[in-house]
Every structure is written in C-alpha cells, then in structure tokens.
Chain A
C-alpha cells in the first residue's frame, strides 16, 4: 500500500507502511545510517501527519514484509481481537488521543495490551512527545513477582550489577555488597559474565546465591549468560533464579544472538522445573535495545524503534519478571547523543508498558556518545515520573567490565529522596530490619561485610 501527504503544494510519497514508519521516526543516527530516515524535518512531519491518519486495522497486515519470519508469526498469533475492539476503528492519531484521555485509566490500558501489535505501539509513539510518553506510561501498572514484587505504583526497583572484568568471586561479591548497603538490588542482583563458560556461569550463580541466602535478602539473582548456558547450568543443578537472554525484533537478528523461540521455551520450562520460585512467579529476564537488529543487518528495511518494539513480542510470550532496554549502550552510530538516548528510552519504556511488559531501563551511555551523567540523571527523573519498573545501578556509575557508564547506587538513593520512590515492599522491610537507609544505624564497612560472607570456592 502506498501513502502520501501534501504540505504547501508538495506531495510527499511513502512507498509502504514500513517506509512511512521509518520516515515518521523522530531523528536518530541509526535510521540515518540505515538510509531510512526522513530527508529533513519537513518530510518527517509529512510522514507523521500521514501516519496519524492510518487506521490501526492497517497494521494487522505483515508490516515488515518478510516471509516466514518467526517474530512476525508470533505477533500475528499474539493479537487478541477482543482486546483490540475498543480501538479497532481508530486511526493512529485517534489512538494517541484515546491513550491520553483521562477516562481511559490504567485498567483500560492494561486490558488493551493484548490487542495492540508492536507496530501499532511503535506508530503511536512516533507522534507522541516526551510528556505524552511519560503521561500514558505513568497510568499503566505492570506488576511482576518472584521473591520481591516489582512495578507497584509509586515504587522504583533497581538491578544491582556487580560486574567484574575476570568474574572474580570476591570482586563480584564486594561490588554487590556495596550496592546492598545502599539499598540496591530489589529487582535482581545480576552479573554480566566476562566469558560464556559453563563453570563460570555456575560459580557466579553460587556466589550470588550465597549472598542472597546468608543475608536473607528477598530478591532474586541472575547470571546474564547465554540461554543455552543457562539450560546446561540448570541441568547441572546450579541455583538459577532467572533465565536471561538478549532478544531482538526479527528471526534473523535472534539468529545472530544464537537464540530461537524453541530454546526460550525449553529454558522457561527448565527454570520453572527447579521449583525455586513461588507458584506463578515470573522467571525470565530479557534485554533489548534500539539498533540491535540493524547492527546484525537483520532490520529488513524497518526503522530501529519499530524493530525494538517487535522484540517485546518475543519477551511477552514468557511473562518475564524483568525487561530492560539497554538504551545508550550500543553507541552513537545508533543513538548519537543525550537527546536521542532520552527520547529512545522514553519510547521504549512507553511501548513496553503499553504491551504489558515490566519495563526497566539501563540509563546509560558509552564514551564515544555525545552524552554525560547530566543527561542520565535528567532521564532518570523523567523515567521515575513515567513509572519505570527498575533501573540498572553499578558502583560509582562505572561498569568496569562492559566499559560504559550507567547509574550509580547513589542515583537510586537520589530518586528515593527527591521523588519518594521506595523499593519493592519486601525489600524495603529487609532494609528496615537491617538498618540500611536509616541515618542512625552504623552499617558494617565493606571489608567487614565481605569477611562475614562464606563464598563458594
């Protein structure tokens, strides 16, 4: 189907819905790199005007136009016509107004999740400004549970990310303790391993399990190795709380990660079989990020933001505990600067929640991006206002393994003090019982805390 829109006597043509989505995307370097971006602000606005008039029903076709793609098939399979009914006659523009209408509360929005496809969510986000993305996301409450309850309105959880360049057990432990003494880690204590070797994966799980059990922390842990390593570790009897995997929005991109839906199904069954979690707990942890598909040359001519939202179809198949967009990690060739990272984070968070996912954000940047800690802290305030489920936190905002900057444990403390966003209730009670976060309790120093731990050898 072809689209066009007239501005000032000039007719702007768009060859397909996929092209229209790309041209309507707010500016970002990755779409320019892919040769998909609008030729300047006027063509972009022509595309946005045109997109606003497209009926939502038009998105029920195969928008990516790639035969046999497993993610497209999943999107078609997930679509629930009954849930879609309240908005089925609307255009993209009318959906924006519907979402912002105060009569449509979190209840109506939650009921809509299974009725919207990723392409519909991406389309409406493209014609929403920052405040729209924040206002609508703030209405939606997505609650998930394991040992802690994440996503309750007015709460903000954190991942404690104690990465170490050589996966040294005590190096990991001391960083985890540093965060715990600041009240970080109620979403997960999660380590990105330096290698994908099975013995290291198992050892990291055991280190995190020792910390969790010996300190009686109501949280869960995760070694963010490949899903196939997780399956092998579960078979070997390792204490695996959550299975992690990076996912993307096309089958080809997921092939690049070495992952299929069948593997994720197997891992999901395996981790449930361990019986470590309460009944009906959420057991999966996914990470995504704009540009992942393009960097694998697996975007099929689709813009990076729409591809990102398609990845959420994969995630929501598994009712995950946590989904995290690693927004600024990929680098300036995809998101050039603080402005583009901020916009992308708000889009990802909004689209994820709209599709019913427990969205967290790694508020982050690399040293070759045109961004700094000021950008990250303003973004944190915006995301907290939007009701983000969790954010990533590391010692001093510096991840010494992955070589990028995220938020510091202190930054979560700043948001709790400034906006009043306590962690998960179970974790808050643990903090109160241990005196963490209270001014009149003297906490042990790091060396004392470390010496009290019995770590696996």
Chain B
C-alpha cells in the first residue's frame, strides 16, 4: 500500500491533481469540493476591485504619494470583455495626470489587472522597494499611479502624460487554480512607443510570479532596477534591449 513517504515523493514531483489512493469511476466528494473552492477563489480574485484605501495607506506609510485613475473600461465586466478599453485612459485623465507634475525618469503604475487581490497583497511593498532603489540611483519617479480596470498598455498613456522615459506597470496576473496572488511587472522604455499606436509586447520586459511562494518582492525590485538602468543606458527595452546587451557583452568580450 501507499506509504506517506511515497505520497510525499509523488507530491514533490508535481502539483497536478493526481488521483492518489483508490481510483474510483468519478472524483470523490472532497476532491470535487476542493476544486470548486479553488475556482471560486480564482473567480473572486478576477472580479475583485482594487483596494485603494489599503494600498494608499501602505504607500503613505512609506512616504509615497499616489494618484488614482480608472481606464476607459469603467466596470469590471467591461474590463474583462473589452481589453481595448482597459488599455486606454478616458478623456481628460491625461490632462489631470499632467497637472501632477513631471517630467519624471520613471512612471510607477500599480494596476488591478486580472487579480486586484495580488495588487493589494504585494503591490505596495513592491512599489516601495523599487522607489527606494530608484531614488538611491538618483532617478525621479513621481507619485504612484493606482490604476483601476487596467491592462498592461494603460501604462504607456500614463507615462506619456507624466513625460516619463520608462514606465513600470505592476498588476495582478490571471489567476490559476492554485494561485490568485501573483503579481506581474512590465517595464517599457517609451522610446519604443508611439502615441496612438499599439506598443508591441516585444518591447516590454516582464517579471512574473511575484508572490509569497514565488519571486520575492525585494528580488523583483532588484531585477526591475537592473532592467531600468540598462534601459536608461541603451534607450531600448524588450527584445531590442536583450540584443543591445548581448552586443555589448560581445564588444566587452573582445
């Protein structure tokens, strides 16, 4: 029969929902209800709204100002069905952001994305860790923009309004069945963007799986800073940045 050691060994290989023990014709009640609960939690994360007071309080404790925007997708339902609206600022929002100052070196944006829970759990800590590192390198960042109903490309319009060279967009990743708290970070040099045109994903650098059981907030902030400094040096981001860095490594190697 199956020993606890053997089961632990199997579980260490994969998180797949294997049938351990007896193998019936249908999944047993405990398995079925566990699956339903995991799905309910993933759905709750998708439908959750950005907890602005909590995030703002955490940012405030770290001495960081914030500014709130909502994308052109004004409701959660519209956000899910219309990704195009989630990438756009509504009329007047850019002017209002401009009034907040600028230009800055780096625009910091924290959005809900597909899991506002992830943004609430790890977003303020990530922004605090990154902002500290930026200031230590003499880079300016302005207030953290808290973005509701936000897709990645919403950051481009925000960066243009703030006259920022580089935008860091952190938002909740699409929840899987086992994790709904994963934060993703997309960093884009605005030299790659043209106003009014879609910015290709190949011009973005991405850090993913930032959560308690994944990439730590501090490690993510350190990696983000490295990318930002490289973007500042090369004026590139995404695939072009990788190519520029590879070329430079070749030159150094000579």
Contact = CB atoms under 8 A, between A and B. Distances in A.
Contact of B46 (A164, A170, A367, A445): A367
B14 interface: yes
B133 interface: no
Contacts of A333: 80-83
Nearest to A394: B16
Interface residues on B, range: 35 or more
Contact of B39 (A29, A182, A405, A408): A405
Contacts of B61: none
B136 interface: no
Interface in A376-410: 394-398, 400, 403, 405, 408-410
Contact of A395 (B6, B17, B174): B17
Nearest to A413: B25
Interface in B20-65: 20-21, 23, 25-27, 31, 35-36, 38-39, 42-43, 45-46
A447 B9 contact: yes
Interface string B183-217: 00000000000000010000000000000000000
Contact of A397 (B17, B20, B45): B17
A175 B35 contact: no
Contact of B14 (A32, A168, A370): A168
B173 to A, nearest CB: 9
Contact of B16 (A178, A366, A405, A413): A178
Nearest to B46: A368
B7 interface: yes
B14 A400 contact: yes
Contacts of B7: 447
Contacts of A373: 35-36, 39
Range of interface residues on chain A? 35 or more
Contact of B10 (A174, A297, A336, A410): A174
A3 interface: no
Contacts of B19: 178, 181-182, 395-396, 409-410, 446
Interface of A: 29, 32-33, 162, 164-165, 168, 170-171, 174-175, 178, 181-182, 297, 332-333, 336, 366-368, 370, 372-373, 394-398, 400, 403, 405, 408-410, 413-414, 417, 443, 445-447, 450
30 contacts: A33-B82, A164-B14, A171-B13, A171-B16, A175-B16, A181-B23, A182-B19, A367-B176, A368-B46, A368-B174, A370-B80, A396-B18, A396-B27, A397-B35, A398-B16, A398-B17, A400-B16, A400-B176, A405-B39, A409-B19, A410-B26, A410-B27, A413-B25, A413-B26, A445-B6, A446-B10, A447-B6, A447-B7, A447-B9, A447-B10
Interface of B: 1-2, 6-7, 9-10, 13-21, 23, 25-27, 31, 35-36, 38-39, 42-43, 45-46, 80-84, 114, 174-178, 198
